[in-house]
Structure 1
Amino acid sequence: MPSRKPKSLSRWSLPLLVTLTLSGCSLFGGEEDVVVMDPVPQAQTQFAAKTLWKRSVGDGVGNYYSQLAPVIADERLFAAARDGQVVALDKQDGQVLWKQDLSDLPVNDNRRSPRLSGGLTASYEHLFVGSENGVLYCLSQETGELVWQTEVAGEILAAPAVDDGKVVVNTSAGRLFALDAEDGHLLWTASDDLPKLTLRGVSRPVITSGGVLYGRADGRLNVLLLENGQLAHLAKVANPSGSTELDRMVDVDAAPLVLGNELFAIAYNGELVAQKLISGDELWKRRYASYQDLAFGLIDLVLTDSKGHVYSVDRSNGRERWANNQLSYRNVTAPVVFGDYVLVGDGEGYLYWLSDTDGQIVAMQQYDSDGLYVPPLVDGDTLYLQTRSGDLVALQRP
């Protein structure tokens, strides 16, 4: 059985459900699969991206749920592994600038590993990364030395947000914490009630216009004042409905997307909604279900839904531009827009290049049979791809 496990019988993760059923196990104790992964699509590859360099980042994240994605600050690329390895690389040639092993720190003496999962975020010359142990680490971008560490209630499964001298983390316990970016002391906290059943994941908070935006497990979107954590606005993204607890799961795990004065959000078993950022007035809504972050191009929003289907939607009115259904249940990552292409990875390590015009797969290549779990990081004409087994690959745009 895979190593991603629910914390209790009342808390399942969607990535867990997909993994269990695809490995021949059933939620209901039977031998028959509930869903079946589509085979690798047959596509005529029109080009191959050039590999600039490849490095190893510890043992990666293995089969665990993780959103541990690399980040860039200036000329440095930062990446981490679940077991506590954090590295800084020159983004041009992959030269290792420093390494830090957080498993050596005293806070981890009585634990199996640091279990890094939420991050990375680079800001204020610091690097922030959270863990399933409820520890937020702050490192120096220059040297990798530990600046401070703070424990909070709940697992940190999403990257923190940093602005105005504050670090905001969202935890699996339904609590949001704001910490001082310089020393990690607690500034304020906010709490939400959790439904009986939730996905294993939380919304990455977003800071904009003096507010903190984040999705909740009950289908709502909160806007808090960054200064003190007071509730400024509460928006509904999805209404629980259905005859079972699974049907009524409406987690808003995707990070809110702010473009100008407009806000976009999506829920699992819910809808994709567009609202005015300040007033909260609804512009449009469409029936899509996802727990992955949205991407955007010049005129569209791009999403991967809970079945692994990829969609492009006109962000001015919500009308569907195209859909690609070739990757059903392949544990598809969130999408990114890269020039004229939409890129997604899958659970068998394939990276797919979809035409932004019609959604057709124009190129594909396998980078790690253990799988891809986060989308590529786009930096100009270069892509940085991190795999489950810990490989970090720099690719040049064709």
Structure 2
Amino acid sequence: MHKTWQKWGCILLGSVLLYGCSSEEDVIKMADVPVVESAFHPDTVWSHSIGSGVGKFYSHLQPVIVGDHIFAASRDGDIYAFDKQSGKKLWHIDLSDQPFFEEKRSARLSGGLAAADGHLYVGSENGQLLALSLDKGELLWHTDVGGEVLATPATDSGKVVVTTGAGQLLALEGDTGKIDWTVTSEQPNLTLRGTSAPVIAAGGVLYGRADGKIGIVLLQNGQLVNETRVATPHGQTDLDRMVDVDATPVIVDDELYAVAYNGQLISRKLISGDELWKRKYAAYQDLGVGVNDIAITDSKSHIYLVDRATGTEKWSNTQLEYRNVTAPLVLGDYVVVGDNEGYLYWLSQTTGKIIAMQEVDSKGLYATPIIDDNLVYIQTRSGELVALKRP
């Protein structure tokens, strides 16, 4: 039986809330759980609770691996460090009781995790960026950045760079949290509740914007170097004209790949900006990048594989329509995604057929799985960090 989502007031598209409201009821029918005879069933090597997870909130928290350790966080403020192979807990801190948080409001962690130079960085819906020590989990500093931090920070050359829901890009000193520079972009009337994670490359910072462009600024001082348009607003309503670039820009060699909501997937030369190809897709999730291909999960939870050199679509899979699938992970012969009912799917990279599936957590999956050595790590909505043996 199909499940029905009824939506009133603020519109929900996939897993991303819009900044804006509608008075009309909208109904989306979610596809049934597919019936699959799994070719394999990856074993669970270890799992550990990391607090209350993110629940139904849009908190873009994803584990990060540094050396032999993996770090994970929950929305309420729990942050853990584990040995990545055994799952042994190394340290834990609860940020919810910090005096700088407003009374009766949790830490509301929402953007991260990122690590560099012995520091662990995480942002919050409270408009703060926080830094902890990697070795002990001690809080080192916190800085008010003037807007919700909904995406993973980027780090390089002693700086940490964040985007905010207020349309700002900021660079801070990694050791002290002092703000070096700020760049502000004009926000359309209606935007998705999300931001693109910045990317640092060759002394520049690339970041997606709500106006359908990717901005490029100098890491040293925030000076604008270039803008490249991914999608052009069109239509009569603010909803029709939404072209947010919320997916993280992807750089492979000297080529840039980006996708916009209500827009398109583009490939361009990074330095010259020359267009290589463009294709019509509407997506806000990060792209999955393989050796020769790009995987996409669009706003309807359809999954596509596109040839990276030509933009030719190799296959599409619509079996998981509106199941709120995660951004894809391209892993060897497979494209891996999770859904909002907690199932993990392994699709053939050759055909797009679902080869195997398993239920990881009935409360749902939201973060892209990550791979390291022989293990695949998955963070669930209920607050479980699960390590599966790679097939």
TM-score range, shorter chain: over 0.9
Of 234, 239, 250, the residue aligned with 1:241 is: 234
Which aligned pairs between 1:173-188 and structure 2 lie closer than 5 A? 173-188=166-181
Look up the SS of the partner of 1:35 in the other structure.
Answer: strand
How far the C-alpha of 1:354 sits from its partner, in A, is: 0.2
Look up the SS of the partner of 2:129 in the other structure.
Answer: strand
- Partners in 2 of 1:88 and 1:324 — Cα distance? 36
Are 1:307 and 2:308 matched, yes or no? no
Are 1:196 and 2:168 matched, yes or no? no
Amino acid at match of 1:145: E
Do 2:17 and 2:192's aligned partners in 1 also have CA atoms closer than 8 Å? no
- Partners in 2 of 1:388 and 1:186 — Cα distance? 32
- Partners in 2 of 1:73 and 1:93 — Cα distance? 15
Which aligned pairs between 1:318-337 and structure 2 lie closer than 5 A? 318-337=311-330
Of 51, 59, 62, the residue aligned with 2:55 is: 62
Do 1:202 and 1:216's aligned partners in 2 also have CA atoms closer than 8 Å? yes
How far the C-alpha of 1:14 sits from its partner, in A, is: 2.9
Distance 1:283 1:337, change over 3 A: same
Distance 1:48 1:15, change over 3 A: same
Q: What's 1:23 paired with?
A: none
Of 96, 119, 126, the residue aligned with 2:89 is: 96
How far the C-alpha of 1:34 sits from its partner, in A, is: 2.2
The Cα offsets for residues 271-308 of structure 1, whole Å up to 9 and x where unpaired, read as 00000011111110000110000011111011101110
Are 1:115 and 2:108 matched, yes or no? yes
Look up the SS of the partner of 1:103 in the other structure.
Answer: helix
Are 1:168 and 2:168 matched, yes or no? no
How far the C-alpha of 1:368 sits from its partner, in A, is: 1.1
Are 1:365 and 2:358 matched, yes or no? yes
Of 260, 283, 286, the residue aligned with 1:293 is: 286
- Partners in 2 of 1:264 and 1:53 — Cα distance? 35
Do 2:16 and 2:194's aligned partners in 1 also have CA atoms closer than 8 Å? no
Which aligned pairs between 1:1-398 and structure 2 lie closer than 5 A? 14-15=13-14, 28-30=23-25, 34-398=27-391
Look up the SS of the partner of 2:258 in the other structure.
Answer: strand
- Partners in 2 of 1:99 and 1:15 — Cα distance? 32
- Partners in 1 of 2:271 and 2:174 — Cα distance? 26
Do 1:12 and 1:198's aligned partners in 2 also have CA atoms closer than 8 Å? no
Q: What's 2:4 paired with?
A: none
How far the C-alpha of 1:252 sits from its partner, in A, is: 0.1
Count of residue correspondences = 383
Regions of 4+ moved over 2 Å: 11-19, 26-30
How far the C-alpha of 1:104 sits from its partner, in A, is: 1.9
How far the C-alpha of 1:136 sits from its partner, in A, is: 0.6
- Tell which deviates more after alignment, 243-252 or 346-355: 243-252
The Cα offsets for residues 25-80 of structure 1, whole Å up to 9 and x where unpaired, read as x95454xx522001111222111001000100000000001210001000010000
The Cα offsets for residues 116-159 of structure 1, whole Å up to 9 and x where unpaired, read as 00000011111000000011110000000011111111100001
Amino acid at match of 1:376: P
The answer for unaligned runs of 5 or more in structure 1 is 20-25
- Taking structure 2 as the reference length, the TM-score comes to 0.95
Q: Which has the higher strand share?
A: 2
Do 1:381 and 1:397's aligned partners in 2 also have CA atoms closer than 8 Å? yes
- Partners in 1 of 2:69 and 2:165 — Cα distance? 30
How far the C-alpha of 1:89 sits from its partner, in A, is: 0.3
Q: What's 2:3 paired with?
A: none
Amino acid at match of 1:119: G
Do 1:66 and 1:373's aligned partners in 2 also have CA atoms closer than 8 Å? no
- Partners in 2 of 1:211 and 1:120 — Cα distance? 21
- Partners in 1 of 2:219 and 2:342 — Cα distance? 39
Amino acid at match of 1:219: G
Look up the SS of the partner of 1:239 in the other structure.
Answer: coil
- Partners in 2 of 1:180 and 1:205 — Cα distance? 16
- Partners in 2 of 1:18 and 1:210 — Cα distance? 33
How far the C-alpha of 1:83 sits from its partner, in A, is: 0.3
The Cα offsets for residues 307-365 of structure 1, whole Å up to 9 and x where unpaired, read as 10010000101000111110100001000011111000000000000001111000001
How far the C-alpha of 1:243 sits from its partner, in A, is: 2.5
Do 1:14 and 1:200's aligned partners in 2 also have CA atoms closer than 8 Å? no
Do 1:273 and 1:284's aligned partners in 2 also have CA atoms closer than 8 Å? yes
- Partners in 2 of 1:308 and 1:18 — Cα distance? 15
- Partners in 2 of 1:82 and 1:129 — Cα distance? 11
- Partners in 2 of 1:285 and 1:380 — Cα distance? 34
